[in-house]
């Protein structure tokens, strides 16, 4: 086994280990609104579900040349964001939005994606996304330091929007139809087209989420 001591490595090397070993990562496609009223869109693959009770998610927004990215600046201003699901149908547009576009440029315009008003929060949803989560920010935690320290944005989901055909009778999501995209290392991605099932072991009177949490 090779061993790596991150304290002796440059950040690029450490990033390669993190982004190559923590795979595949879901992509939180975040829409936010700037103080000047510009609708912003950007993908974040350092993205997790935290708890369903009540539903919380988090994205990690890294620094860019020592400055906060537009997403973080907007979140600090409005305290709101929408996380859209990236499907294979919109993966090219998602990639377009990840360029270093200036704050006055809306990535909706850059990508050609359509903004739909949200029900509760000010940032718009992406019409073409198969699902969206309207979120209010609960905590912003600085993690690490220069040059690439990040802010972990923890947000509560106030509303889920899911395309009609994706929700089964028991509330389960049709994963084959969702066609969610995962991020691998660098410029590589994967699809969820190939799936397999693995039953969880049931030990005694399991108290986790239906034995599946």
Ligand X SMILES: Cc1cc2nc3c(=O)[nH]c(=O)nc-3n(C[C@H](O)[C@H](O)[C@H](O)COP(=O)(O)O)c2cc1C
The residues that touch ligand X, with contacts defined as CB under 6 A, are 27, 40, 42-46, 60-62, 64, 69-71, 95, 98, 100, 183
- In whole angstroms, the minimum distance from the beta carbon of 194 to ligand X comes to 20
Q: How far is the CB of 154 from ligand X (least distance, A)?
A: 14
Nearer to ligand X, 30 or 157 (CB): 30
CB of 158 to ligand X, least distance (A): 21
Smaller CB separation from ligand X, 17 or 119: 17
DSSP state of 173: B
- In sequence order, the 6+-apart residues with CB closer than 8 A to the CB of 49 are 55, 56, 57
103 vs 167, beta carbon nearer ligand X: 103
The Cα–Cα gap between 94 and 47 comes to 15
Instruction: State CA 73 to chain mean position distance.
Output: 17
Q: How far is the CB of 171 from ligand X (least distance, A)?
A: 28
Q: Can you spell out the DSSP letters for 32-91?
A: EE-TT--EEEEEESSEEEEEETTEEEEEEEEEETTEE-HHHHHHHHHSEEEEEEPBGGGH
Distance of closest approach, residue 36 Cβ to ligand X, in angstroms? 13
List all residues 6 or more positions away from 162 whose beta carbon is below 8 Å from its beta carbon: 130, 131, 173
- CB of 46 or CB of 132, closer to ligand X: 46
Compare residues 68 and 174 and give the one whose CB is closer to ligand X.
Answer: 68
Comparing C-alpha atoms, which of 212, 173, 185 is closest to residue 87?
173
């Amino acid at each position: 086994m090779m061993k790596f001591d991150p304290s002796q490595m440059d950040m690029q090397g450490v990033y390669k280990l993190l982004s190559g070993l923590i795979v595949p990562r879901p992509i939180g496609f975040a829409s936010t609104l700037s103080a000047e009223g510009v609708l912003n869109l950007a993908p974040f693959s350092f993205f997790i579900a935290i708890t369903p009770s009540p539903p919380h998610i988090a994205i990690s927004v890294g620094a860019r040349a020592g400055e906060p990215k537009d997403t973080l600046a907007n979140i600090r201003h409005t305290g709101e964001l929408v996380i859209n699901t990236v499907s294979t149908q919109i993966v090219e547009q998602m990639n377009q939005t990840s360029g270093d576009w200036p704050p006055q440029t809306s990535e909706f315009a850059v990508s050609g994606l359509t903004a739909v008003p949200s029900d509760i929060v000010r940032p718009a949803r992406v019409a073409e996304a198969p699902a969206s989560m309207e979120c209010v920010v609960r905590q912003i935690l600085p993690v690490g330091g220069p040059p690439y320290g990040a802010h972990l944005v923890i947000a509560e989901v106030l509303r889920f929007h899911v395309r009609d055909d994706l929700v089964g009778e028991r509330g389960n999501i049709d994963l084959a139809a969702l066609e969610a995209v995962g991020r691998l290392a660098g410029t590589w991605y994967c699809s969820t087209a190939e799936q397999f099932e693995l039953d969880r072991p049931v030990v005694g009177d399991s108290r986790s989420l239906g034995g599946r949490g």
